[in-house]
Amino acid sequence: MSVISDKNPVVSPEEMRRQREYTEKIKVILQAKYPLEGPKAFVHTYGCQGNVADSERIKGQLAEMGYSFTDVREEADFVLFNTCAVREHAEDRVFGNVGALKPVKNEKKDMIIALCGCMMQQKHVEERIKRSYPYVNLVFGTFAIHRVPELLYKVLRGGKRVFETGETNGEIAEGLPVYRDRDFKMWLPIMYGCNNFCSYCVVPYVRGRERSRAPEEVIAEAKELISLGAKEITLLGQNVNSYGKNCSHNVNFPKLIRMINDLPGDFKIRFMTSHPKDCTKELLDTMASCEKVARHLHLPFQSGNNRVLKEMNRGYTREDYIGLIEYARSVMPDISVTSDIIVGFPGETREEFEDTLSLIKEVRFTSLFTFIFSPREGTRAKNMEDNVPYSEKSRWFTELLKLQETIAAERCKSMLGKTYEVLVESETKEKDGRLTGRTDGNINIDFEGDISLIGQYKKVRVTNALNWILSGELE
Ligand code: SAH
Ligand code: SF4
């Protein structure tokens, strides 16, 4: 198949070659500088899986330069924070952590401190770093991920601070090395950017317009992941349902799913995030007929009230949303549905918030990601009148969580005594000889087992449901 992705340009082979030349030069510099143990890098990622996937590509490039990775900041010669701009809280944490590096850097003068990701695409953030964090050596935005070698080379040679935050056409860099944190649960970006401009959201401003990877690139990477032992592949994009729009090929998102489903191997397919406005019956029918697609749909509705949805510029109504869920359940009766919600959008009244509560009761979600509205620089909602005090929004937020906990507890009870296939993911946080597995519907179950089971599919019978926490036994 030969595909030209019209409005989805890729970084030229010459440019990729130029970057690899910088990698070679850096390798020599680092070998001389750290002859014994080699250079160490600490990379911390905030925010969504899109950022996690970017970090894997940045780490891939660092590994080629000779870096090994450490979880201890103080041990690192290169510290990188890949940042998130979606809510103020995430930004505050980044500034807090960068502030905490000052004494570390005073002790270790040649440590390189770098910041990248969505926050860096915002002018006011860049200004603040220039002004108040003089010990940060390198700042780059979401459009410069493949240029890490060139940028780091400049820092290593010049000693000057380097800022690279310009917006480009968003050329997609294919063929970057990828350093994957896990070898059985893997991320596969299929598109970048967003065209939706939901009125509260900063993503379209910091990630640029929608660009899709060519289908043959996606399929080639999927094959590679399967050969590496992937048991679960999650397709990533801000709005995966827009995959392939503006491209000369005719592979839309459902077609892409089917192509991956048809690849041989013992793996499951997940995807996120799906936007209700572009979620079609074709997609739901495809999910239903593809045996490798997990029975899980993450479909953020944000608000259950039509006026608020309109102000949010979401492009669907409460009725449209319920219609989609009904259709999904008619073709996949066991589908698990999760969602994102914003509480306290500017101008939202108590009655309108109650529409969100009633939608939750009606749909009965498996789980919810709930956020209090956070005003973001440059977005339309930032300048909307907002009369509800934060303390009141917090009360609504708690009320919503309580409702969801009751629903989740009922759902957990209904799972008692039943057996589920889970992908064993990790030890439990307590590391008490127990493991955590995730069902097809994205529900965690803890059980006793040996760590050698991590990365395998196992059958677990649910024996205990304590509120919304499930535990079970291996069958
Ligand atoms: N592209 C995804 C969402 C990406 S952001 C989608 O459209 O579903 C993840 C979630 O963060 C959003 O679904 C929304 O619930 C929340 N969010 C985004 N901007 C926010 C803001 N300004 N304040 C509070 N929550 C926000
Ligand atoms: Fe933000 Fe809306 Fe785009 Fe999601 S679809 S990233 S919420 S603008």
For residue 343, give the nearest of 396, 419, 287, 270 by alpha carbon: 396
CA of 339 to the centre of ligand 2 (A): 13
User: Which mutation among 239, 302, 345 tests ligand 2's pocket best, with the greatest number of atoms within 8 A of CB?
Assistant: 239
Ligand 2 centroid, distance to 269 Cα (angstroms): 22
Q: What percent of the chain has pLDDT over 70?
A: 99
Residue 211 and residue 416: Cα distance in Å, rounded? 44
Nearest-atom number in ligand 2 for the CA of 86 is 1
Q: What is the mean pLDDT of residues 457-469?
A: 93
- What is the CATH number assigned to the segment(s) 419-474? 2.40.50
Segment 135-166, tens digit of pLDDT: 999 999 999 999 999 999 999 998 789 999 99
Cis peptide before 273 (omega within 30 of 0): yes
- 87, 210, 238, 382: residue to mutate for ligand 2 pocket, most atoms within 8 A of CB: 238
2 pLDDT higher than 70: no
Which residue has its alpha carbon closest to ligand 1 atom 11? 86
Identity of residue 337: V
Q: Per-residue pLDDT averaged across 461-465, rounded?
A: 96
**Domain segments of the chain as ranges:** 2-164, 182-294, 296-414, 419-474
- Which ligand has an atom closest to residue 356 CA? 1
Question: Which of 141-150, 175-184, 221-230 has the least mean pLDDT?
Answer: 175-184
pLDDT at 3 exceeding the cut of 60: no
Q: Which CATH architecture does the domain made up of 182-294 adopt?
A: 2-Layer Sandwich (3.30)
Ligand 1 pocket, residue 271 CB under 6 Å: no
Q: What number of other Cβ atoms are within 10 A of residue 124's Cβ?
A: 10
Q: Does the structure show a pLDDT above 80 at 446?
A: yes
Half-sphere exposure of 82 (CA within 13 A, CB side): 23
- The pLDDT of residue 4 is 44
Superfamily for 2-164?
Methylthiotransferase, N-terminal domain (3.40.50.12160)
pLDDT band at 414 (very low <50, low <70, confident <90, very high): very high
Q: How many CB atoms lie within 10 A of CB 95?
A: 17
- Class for domain 296-414, per CATH? alpha beta
pLDDT at 182: 82
Place of tokens 């990601």: 369
pLDDT above 80: residue 19: yes
Q: What is the atom index within ligand 2 of the atom nearest the CA of 314?
A: 2
Provide the pLDDT for residue 162. 97
177-189 average pLDDT score: 93
Question: Which residue out of 118, 199, 200, 201 has the highest number of ligand 2 atoms within 8 Å of its CB and is therefore the one to mutate?
Answer: 201
Q: How far apart are the first and last CA of the chain?
A: 45
pLDDT band at 1 (very low <50, low <70, confident <90, very high): very low
Query: Tell me: the pLDDT tens digits for 380-393?
Result: 999 999 999 999 99
What 8-state DSSP symbol labels residue 132?
Answer: H
Q: Is 238 in the pocket of ligand 1 (CB under 6 A)?
A: yes
Instruction: Compute the residue count for the chain.
Output: 475
Cis preceding-peptide flag for 379 (omega within 30 of 0): no
Across all residues in the chain, what is the average pLDDT?
95
Q: Which residue has the higher pLDDT, 181 or 327?
A: 327
2-164 shares its CATH topology with 182-294: no
6-10, 277-281, 325-329, 385-389: which has the minimum mean pLDDT?
A: 6-10
List the helix and strand counts (H, then E) for the chain.
13, 19
Say if ligand 2 is within 6 A of residue 84 CB.
Answer: no
Q: 196-220: per-residue pLDDT in tens?
A: 999 999 999 999 999 999 999 999 9
DSSP string covering 166-221: ------B--S-----S-SSEEEEE-EE------TT--HHHHH-S-EE--HHHHHHH
Average pLDDT over residues 23-31: 97
Question: Which residue from 198, 309, 312, 345 has its CB within 8 A of the most atoms of ligand 2, so it is best to mutate?
Answer: 198
Q: What is the pLDDT of residue 7?
A: 62
Higher per-residue pLDDT: 267 or 2: 267
User: Which residue puts its alpha carbon closest to atom 1 of ligand 1?
Assistant: 238
pLDDT tens figures, 59-75: 999 999 999 999 999 99
Per-residue pLDDT tens for 71-106?
Answer: 999 999 999 999 999 999 999 999 999 999 999 999
Identify the pLDDT of residue 235: 98
